[in-house]
Homo-oligomer: A and B are copies of this chain.
Amino acid sequence: MGSETADPETAPPPGPRPRPGGRTARTRRQVLDAVLAELGEHGYDGLTVEAVATRAGVHRTTVYRRWRDVGGLLADVLDAAGADDWGPPDTGSLEDDLTGLNEEIHDALTARPPVVPALIAASFRSPQAAEAQRRLWDDRYARCEVVVERALARGDLPAGTEARPLLVAATAPLYHQLLLLGAAPDPQSARRAARATALAAAAGAFTGQPAADT
């Protein structure tokens, strides 16, 4: 869901005023790119500041000065990744929208090198990075709510259907399969999860009140 590279200049990290143009910004981009490249090559556990700095053509201490530690580095990578103008597909059908969304997720999680899985795994290593990761997902899911709203507007879903649980139900199986269960990529899985969720939603599974146990 969404890309991991984006316009980084829009989200200057900490500091008072980080010298908008010039070396500072260029260095940041180089380092963040190096993080992604290293993650892709060596995985979340082979990520060392030394290697990142070398690849970015920067000295190790520069990384520590700007990002304090690995967690800060990952957090900034994630923040930069979220700073784009991504939006969900708009096909006119809930199932197809969700399928398109799932296909993006599928592609991101199975792309070679596996940058996204490594990034997710790495985020467990620091509270700061985990926080950024959750911020990113929250933003992505928020942008996706329009998919449900459109379906509601079309009358394809019962009134009261809640977007967030629906979206989570639709996308969770992909993450679970590919990230945790280590299953082989399955092109059908994107549509299967989308259709199951669309069916359940049409049947009222995601309306706020469980209406008792019908």
Chain B minimum-CB-distance residue to A201? B196
Chain B positions within 8 Å of A168 at CB level: 173, 176-177, 181
Chain B positions within 8 Å of A197 at CB level: 196, 200
- Would you call A181 and B137 a contact (CB within 8 A)? yes
Interface size on A, residues (CB 8 A): 41
Give me the interface of A with B, judged by CB distance under 8 Å: 44-45, 120-121, 124-125, 130, 133-134, 137-138, 165, 168-169, 171-173, 175-177, 179-182, 188-189, 191-193, 195-197, 199-201, 203-206, 210, 213
- Total identical chains: 4
Closest 7 CB pairs of A and B: A172-B176, A196-B205, A172-B172, A196-B200, A200-B200, A172-B173, A121-B124
Q: Which of A45, A130, A169, A181 has the most CB of B within 10 A?
A: A169
